[in-house]
Chains A and B, each alone.
Chain A
Amino acid sequence: MKQIIHLDINGEAQDIAVEPYHTLLQVLRDELGLIGAKKGCDTGGCGCCTVLVNGKAVYSCMVFAMTAQGKTITTVEGLADGATLDPVQQAFIEAGAVQCGYCTCGMIMSAKAYLSSDGSHLPGDLEMRQAIAGNLCRCTGYQKIVDAIRLAASRRMETSAKG
Chain B
Amino acid sequence: MPETNIVGKSVLRPDAFDKVTGGKGFPVNVRLPGMLHGKLLRSPYPHARILRLDTSKAERLPGVKAVLTPSEAPKNKFHPVFFSPSVAASMVHDMLILSDRVRFAGEPVAAVAAINPQIAEEALELIHVDYERLPAVFDPEEAMKPGAPQIHEHAPNNIAMHPLFAFGDLEKGFEEADSVFENTYETQRVHTCYMEPRVCVVDSDARGNLTVWSSTQHLFGLREKLASALGIPVSKVKVVRPPYIGGGFGGKLDISFLEPISALLSLKTHRPVRIEHTRYEDFITTARHPVKVFLKTGVKKDGTFTARYAKSILDTGAHATHGAVVLMVHGMYGFLLPYRCPNSKWEGFTVYTNNMIGGGFRGYGVPQAAFAVESQIDEICDKLHLDPIEFRLKNSHGEGQQHPFDPGFKLDTYRFADCLKQGAAQIGWSNRRSKGSGNGTKKRGIGLACQPLWVSGCVGFPDIYEHSGAILKLNVDGAVDLSMATIDMGCGQTTVLSQIVAEELGVPLEAVRMTYADTETVPFDAPTHASRVTYSAGNAAKAAAGQAKKRVLEIASSMLKTTSDNLETGNGRVYVKGAPDKGLSIADVVKQAESPYVRMVPDGMQRTSLQEKGTVMGVASLAPASNPSPATAEFVEVEVDTETGEVKVLRVVYAHDIGKVINPAGAEGQVEGGFQQGMGFALMENLVFDQESGACLAGDFLSYKMPTAMEMPPEIKSVFIESHEPSGPFGAKSLSEPCAIVPAPAIANAIYNAIGVRIRELPITPEKILAALGKL
B22 and A98 contact, CB distance less than 8 A: no
B195 and A77 contact, CB distance less than 8 A: no
Known: A99-B490, A129-B709. A141 touches B22 (CB 8 A): no
Check: A52 CB closer than 8 A to any chain B CB: no
Known: A102-B196, A103-B195, A145-B709. A96 touches B668 (CB 8 A): yes
Interface residues of A in 122-144 (CB under 8 A from B): 125, 128-130, 132-144
Binding site for A on B (CB under 8 A): 10, 12-13, 15-24, 26, 28-29, 118, 192-197, 244-247, 249, 276, 278-279, 489-492, 665-666, 668-669, 671-677, 700-702, 706, 708-710, 712, 714-716
Q: Within 8 Å CB of B21, what residues of A? A: 36, 76-77, 79-80, 85, 89
Check: A41 CB closer than 8 A to any chain B CB: yes
Q: Within 8 Å CB of B197, what residues of A? A: 39-40
What class of interface size applies to chain A in its complex with B?
35 or more
Which has the most chain B C-beta neighbours within 10 Å: A41, A48, A129?
A41
Q: How far is the CA of A162 from the CA of B197 in the complex (A)?
A: 45
Shortest CB–CB separation between residue A105 and chain B, in angstroms? 6
A144 and B195 contact, CB distance less than 8 A: no
Q: How far is the CA of A132 from the CA of B673 in the complex (A)?
A: 16
A144 and B247 contact, CB distance less than 8 A: no
B701 and A46 contact, CB distance less than 8 A: yes
Check: A146 CB closer than 8 A to any chain B CB: yes
B20 and A141 contact, CB distance less than 8 A: no
Q: Which of A35, A108, A128, A137 contacts B20 (CB 8 A)?
A: A108
Q: A-B pairs with the 3 shortest C-beta distances?
A: A100-B490, A45-B701, A102-B246
B702 and A38 contact, CB distance less than 8 A: no
A138 and B676 contact, CB distance less than 8 A: yes
Shortest CB–CB separation between residue A2 and chain B, in angstroms? 13
Check: A158 CB closer than 8 A to any chain B CB: no
B701 and A35 contact, CB distance less than 8 A: no
Known: A35-B22, A92-B20, A100-B195. A42 touches B279 (CB 8 A): yes
B20 and A41 contact, CB distance less than 8 A: no
Q: How far is the CA of A133 from the CA of B712 in the complex (A)?
A: 11
Known: A41-B700, A43-B279, A129-B710. A99 touches B669 (CB 8 A): yes
> What DSSP secondary structure best describes chain B's contact surface?
loop
Shortest CB–CB separation between residue A86 and chain B, in angstroms? 9
Check: A70 CB closer than 8 A to any chain B CB: no
Q: How far is the CA of A102 from the CA of B10 in the complex (A)?
A: 22
Known: A39-B28, A45-B279, A142-B709. A98 touches B19 (CB 8 A): yes
A130 and B710 contact, CB distance less than 8 A: yes
Known: A40-B195, A102-B196. A139 touches B709 (CB 8 A): no
Q: How far is the CA of A141 from the CA of B708 in the complex (A)?
A: 8
Q: Within 8 Å CB of B15, what residues of A? A: 98, 101
Q: Within 8 Å CB of A44, what residues of B? A: 702
Check: A94 CB closer than 8 A to any chain B CB: yes
Which has the most chain A C-beta neighbours within 10 Å: B20, B671, B700, B701?
B20
A38 and B246 contact, CB distance less than 8 A: yes
Q: How far is the CA of A128 from the CA of B13 in the complex (A)?
A: 24
A140 and B669 contact, CB distance less than 8 A: yes
Shortest CB–CB separation between residue A115 and chain B, in angstroms? 15
Check: A32 CB closer than 8 A to any chain B CB: no
**Cβ-closest chain B residue relative to A125:** B714
Interface residues of A in 28-65 (CB under 8 A from B): 34-36, 38-46, 48
Q: Within 8 Å CB of B12, what residues of A? A: 93-94
Q: How far is the CA of A77 from the CA of B15 in the complex (A)?
A: 16
| Chain A to chain B contacts (Cβ below 8 Å), 17 pairs | A46-B279, A77-B22, A85-B17, A85-B21, A98-B20, A100-B196, A101-B15, A101-B16, A101-B19, A103-B195, A129-B709, A130-B710, A136-B706, A139-B673, A142-B672, A142-B709, A142-B712
A93 and B16 contact, CB distance less than 8 A: yes
Shortest CB–CB separation between residue A20 and chain B, in angstroms? 12
Q: Which of B20, B28, B490, B668 contacts A139 (CB 8 A)?
A: B490
Q: Which of A35, A77, A144 contacts B668 (CB 8 A)?
A: A144
Q: Which of B20, B708, B709 contacts A76 (CB 8 A)?
A: B20
Shortest CB–CB separation between residue A25 and chain B, in angstroms? 12
Check: A23 CB closer than 8 A to any chain B CB: no
**Cβ-closest chain B residue relative to A96:** B665
Q: Within 8 Å CB of A21, what residues of B? A: 118
Shortest CB–CB separation between residue A32 and chain B, in angstroms? 12
Shortest CB–CB separation between residue B56 and chain A, in angstroms? 27
Which has the most chain A C-beta neighbours within 10 Å: B28, B247, B702?
B247
Which has the most chain B C-beta neighbours within 10 Å: A77, A94, A108, A140?
A140
Given A100-B489, A105-B19, 20 extra CB contacts under 8 A? A38-B23, A41-B700, A80-B21, A93-B13, A93-B17, A94-B12, A101-B16, A101-B246, A102-B196, A104-B20, A133-B708, A134-B708, A137-B673, A138-B247, A138-B249, A138-B673, A139-B673, A142-B672, A142-B676, A146-B709
Known: A35-B29, A38-B28, A93-B16. A140 touches B673 (CB 8 A): yes
Q: How far is the CA of A129 from the CA of B710 in the complex (A)?
A: 6
Q: Within 8 Å CB of A103, what residues of B? A: 195
Known: A96-B665, A144-B672. A41 touches B701 (CB 8 A): yes
Q: Within 8 Å CB of B676, what residues of A? A: 137-138, 140-142
**Cβ-closest chain A residue relative to B17:** A93
A141 and B195 contact, CB distance less than 8 A: no
Q: Within 8 Å CB of B492, what residues of A? A: 99
Q: How far is the CA of A41 from the CA of B196 in the complex (A)?
A: 9
Q: Which of B24, B195, B244 contacts A137 (CB 8 A)?
A: B195
A38 and B195 contact, CB distance less than 8 A: yes
B16 and A105 contact, CB distance less than 8 A: no
**Cβ-closest chain B residue relative to A102:** B246
A141 and B16 contact, CB distance less than 8 A: no
**Cβ-closest chain A residue relative to B680:** A138
Q: Which of A41, A96, A133 contacts B710 (CB 8 A)?
A: A133
Q: Within 8 Å CB of B700, what residues of A? A: 41, 43, 45
Q: Within 8 Å CB of A142, what residues of B? A: 672, 676, 708-709, 712
**Cβ-closest chain A residue relative to B20:** A89
Known: A96-B666, A99-B669, A138-B706. A105 touches B20 (CB 8 A): yes
Q: How far is the CA of A122 from the CA of B709 in the complex (A)?
A: 18
Q: How far is the CA of A49 from the CA of B648 in the complex (A)?
A: 29
B716 and A141 contact, CB distance less than 8 A: yes
A96 and B279 contact, CB distance less than 8 A: no
Q: How far is the CA of A80 from the CA of B673 in the complex (A)?
A: 28
Shortest CB–CB separation between residue A100 and chain B, in angstroms? 3
B701 and A139 contact, CB distance less than 8 A: no
Q: Within 8 Å CB of B489, what residues of A? A: 100
Q: Within 8 Å CB of A128, what residues of B? A: 709
